[in-house]
Structures are given as structure tokens and as C-alpha cells.
Chains A and B, each alone.
Chain A
């Protein structure tokens, strides 16, 4: 009988000991520093190939990469910040920077950048660098850029009478109409996943929509500019040029693009590599990329797109900021960036890396080079992630014919005003206390 109690005690002890053994270890053992680096999605997988070279150059540093699925990345990162268990450094979407800075989770890098022989601000695309600046301080070093533009089927467009990609919305619309007329039912002119906010956002920015107003304290989606953009966007679905598919309803973008289910697709640089890899060989010369068309002739071509991408940020909680910065510098070296581009297809944020033959001589990447000169950031408020989700959630009913564009935008403004309510309070308090 008591043997059993003793057994229980033993099991208890063993489990305690094993738990103790697995308790979080400090980052330092035997003089070797282990950096915890969180990277998202595919980059998280690929960056592991770059780490050995870094570790070879820095024998005292080990890097543990944790890959975080892109779908949960934002909430996972915030959970870690609130829970006080942040990594040493992480890849963060550049639209999250204001939020993380506001949370005092990530560290300002101004001094490190000034002293750095690698991270030279002048070499970065200005629009991209700017997304990392909050209240005059820089909080992230751009790692790769991700702006969206047109991918299109050259053969389908040529057959519709457009040997060159459209340069204005009017040409673009005409091209889509003709493509759709030739394609027939079940096929479409353009693919715009309804659960993405980037496309309406780009169209709005092209028309100069501010998106937020009064010091980013209220939503401004009913402004004439965004109203027009939303009308254009929703109209593409209503007139049957675009299918109302969400990402989970699309089986395979690549198969469907190859099959001619759509001729246009607004997407980012990662798809250059994916298209090459996944499209059947006979499609090789039948697609290309083009910068965004301008709304009309009165505006500069190319039209603007939104500055996306990811940056590398250091967390305030890190006990090894110097080592973490070394990794940032390593990943920012133009040569490493070119290698990273080869592995991922991600585009480097620095002009000098674009001089490499693999980028300069690539016809399908050239459009991105042109587009990158014409990018603007999303509004820099901590609430942006939430607002961006709200954009597509409010527009989707209008796309599916359950609501009108005006009702959708009213709904969007109401919800965004509510999202920004706390921001207004905090700003008012700051002003009252004279800070």
C-alpha cells in the first residue's frame, strides 16, 4: 500500500525535476550567447540557411530561429510583448512598428544606425525607411520590401488588343472588359481576394485618399477620394470582372492563372518566384509585371502603391542587444540581401543591392524597381492592423451585393472611429498634461 504512495511521490519528484530542467534557460551558457530570433512564414524557414555564415563569423553567438505562421504572427507577437516574453529580435511587418513602439516593446535604433557602418539610411528607399520612423525615431531596419503591383498575362492582353500594359485606370478598365468578353463565363479579368485590404488601400492612395483625418484620430473613408476608389474596386466585382473569392476559396492561384481564369492579379514580389516555380513551363513567356496604372492622365505614372514589407526590430527586453544588432547588420549587408533575394524572391530595400545582376537584369522585377520610387506608407497609428482588417470586412458585404458602397463606408468609418476612440483619449490626456 505505502509502496504505491512512495511510487506516487517518486513520479511527482521526477516530474518536478524534469520541469525544472526545462525551465527557461538564460541566453548565456559557457560564454556563448543564444539569440532568439522570430521570423515569419517563409522567411522564417529560409533565413535558417543564412544563419550558419553569421555563426561562423561570430563564434560567440548562436541563433535560434522560431518560425511563426504569418496568419497568427501579429497576435503572437503582441501576446509575447504583453506577456513580457519577447525574443531578442524579430521580423515585424512594417505597419506594426507604430503599435510595437507605442507598447514600448521595441527599442529605438537611432544611435545604432548612426554608428553603423552597414546600415546606411541614404541607401534605403525613402518611402520604405519612412515606415519605420515613429515620432522622429527609427524603430526598425527594413529587411525586404513588399509593394504590390500588376501581374498580368501578356498573351491574353495582347489578344485583347493591349500589347503594352495599361497606364491609366481607363485603359486598365477597357483591357479588363475585353479580356472578360473573350474569356466568357466562369473566367474573369482580375483576381482580387476579398479578404485583403491592400487592393482598395492602393486604389485609395492612388487618388490621394488620406484614410484617417484630424491627426489620425478619426476614419476618413467617406472622403471623395476613397469613395471613388471603393466604387471602382467594388464595381470590378459587381460587373463580373473579378470573382468574389476569399483566399480560402482559391484553390491554386498558379493553376488558375495558367488556365486563364484571370489575366490580372495585384500582388507582391514573393509571387515572382512562386510564379516561376509553380507555373507550367509553357507559361514562361506569357506573363509579366507592371507598375500600377495612374487614375488618369493628370497624375504621374506610375500610380502610387503602398509601402509594405518587413523590418528587423530589437526588443527592449533583450539581454543581448549588441549581439542582436550584429545579426541585423549581417542581414542588412547588400551581399547577404542579394542572397536572401535569391532564396526568397523578396526584394531588397537598399538601392545598392539592386545593382546586382540577378536583380538589375530581371525583366519581371524591373517593374518593382519603378514602383518602389512611388510608394507611400499606410497611416502610422498603433491601431492600423485592426483598421486594415476592418477595411476588407466592411467592404465585403458591398462586394457580395449585401450592402451598398456608401453603407459599407459609413460602417467602416463608424468602426474605425470606435477603434481610434482610445487613441483620441490618450492624445487628449497627453495634450492636457502638456507632454
Chain B
């Protein structure tokens, strides 16, 4: 009896928590479907009086959100592909290949993990200016192409690969590049998938650096465009919500599809120290 009561209380708390957590997201979708101005009425409605897609149409037809969407996708995919490759290469080398200075360099990188990236932003801007990459896609891609965290993640995973496997391949005459491409990459697949999801979400959601480095609106990413749109259309709640839905939904769907890998990565970052 007591157990049933506890269980009831527990589930009530869980349901309440889940409702509170999801409410802002659900309201975002609801408001994006309301006729213009409806969200700003008293009492605030939760459901649209009738469903309209006019704000989405407005975003695509007049505000060029399609282009912005393409930018976000292009940048997130490029950074993901390139950084997974570079991080995998470096992480594997730190784990399995012997070279002078290996442990010292790796220790140094670990120490640098505590450096907040915000410190780098000002000079990075000046560097990009020197390279002529302000307001170019490369200005966003290059700094994201390798991360200490990514190298660390791959290295920890690759450590568990038995040396005998590599030695056997070498005896068979396989080149180092081939060993990496045909043995290491497949073996590291789980962590690489995790890393890819992390990187994709991180790039998609990133705001500070793209805000600074992308000045041309034809290169804007969704968060930057959304913040910009907000400056002009604060009053247009429904339009802003439609923009938010377009920004959030892709990553939310990706997460729902690949949840298992994402969670796995979070744990590896958290527990395998």
C-alpha cells in the first residue's frame, strides 16, 4: 500500500516534470501556427484558433530562410565530416602510434582543455581578417575542424584496440594509412558516430562565433538569422516562433533518432576520465 503511494507520488512528479519540460517546446509549435497577433492576447491562448502556415510561408518567401537553412546544414555537415576525420586521425595516433613527445603533447592538450574558447575569439577575428576569411564559410569551418575534446574522446576509445591487431596488419604489409582507414575507423565507429552527433549539434547551435564572423546575410546561420530577425520583428510573436521551430526541429529530430549514441558519448566524456 505504502509502496503504491510512493509510486504514485513518484510518477506524478515525473509527469509534472515532463510536462513542464516539454511545455515551452509545445507552445513554440502551437504559437507558430496561430494567426498573426493571436499569441498577444489576454488570456494567452495555448491552442491556435485555427491552424495557419502563413508565418512559415513568410519566412521562406520573403525572409529567405531557405538559404539560411541551407547555410546551417552545409556548415554543420562540413564541420562534422572534417572534424570527425581529423579528430579520429589524431586521437588514434595519440593512442596507438609511438612518436617522440607524444605524452608531453597530449598532456599539454589536456591542460588546454580548461581554456574557454571565448578568450580566443577576439584575436581569432583579427586572424581571420588577415586570412581574408571574414564572412566566408571557411571562417566558420576552419576553427571547428579539430577539437581537443574530440581527440581526447577518440584516443580514450582507441586505447582499447589490441596492439596485436595492428602489428598483424603491419606484418601483412598494410600501410599505416590503410590500417587507419580499414581497421581503426570501423573499430572506432561507435565513438565516431557519437562525436559526429556532438559536432553536428554543436555547430548547428553555435551562436557567438558565427555572429561575429558572418557579416553577409547570404551566409547567416539559423541562430544568427533568428537573432537578427528578432531585432526587426519582436512584435511578431508567431513569426518568431515559426523561425524557432525551424531552428530547433532538425536537431531535436536528429536527437530522437540517434539518442542512444548521443547519450553514450555524454557518458564517455563524463565517466572515462
Contacts and interface: CB of A to CB of B under 8 A. Distances in A.
B85 interface: yes
A84 B132 contact: yes
A115 B103 CA distance: 70
A85 B74 contact: no
A15 B81 contact: yes
Q: Is the interface of A mostly helix, strand, loop or mixed?
A: helix
A83 B182 contact: no
A79 B78 CA distance: 25
Contacts of B213: 83
Q: Which range holds the interface residue count of chain A?
A: 20 to 34
B77 A15 contact: yes
A19 B138 contact: yes
B182 A5 contact: yes
B136 A24 contact: yes
A4 B182 CA distance: 9
A15 B78 contact: yes
From B78, B136, B215, name the one whose CB has the most chain A CB atoms within 10 angstroms. B215
Nearest to B134: A83
A389 interface: no
A84 to B, nearest CB: 6
B14 to A, nearest CB: 36
Contacts of A66: 216-217
B136 A83 contact: no
B209 interface: no
Given A4-B185, A66-B216, A83-B215, A18 B74 contact: yes
Interface in A154-202: none
Contact of A15 (B74, B181, B186, B212): B74
A390 B225 CA distance: 28
Interface in B210-256: 212-213, 215-217, 228-232
Interface stretch (A69-77, A236-244, A366-374): A69-77
Contact of B128 (A1, A45, A83): A83
Interface in B60-106: 74, 77-78, 81-82, 85
Contacts of A24: 135-136, 216
A120 interface: no
Given A83-B135, A84-B132, A8 B81 contact: yes
Contact of A84 (B77, B129, B185, B232): B129
A83 B81 contact: no
Contacts of A23: 136-137
15 contacts: A12-B85, A15-B78, A15-B82, A19-B74, A24-B216, A67-B217, A69-B229, A70-B231, A72-B228, A80-B215, A83-B125, A83-B128, A83-B129, A84-B129, A85-B216
Interface of A: 1-2, 4-5, 8, 11-12, 15, 18-19, 22-24, 41, 45, 66-72, 76, 79-80, 82-85
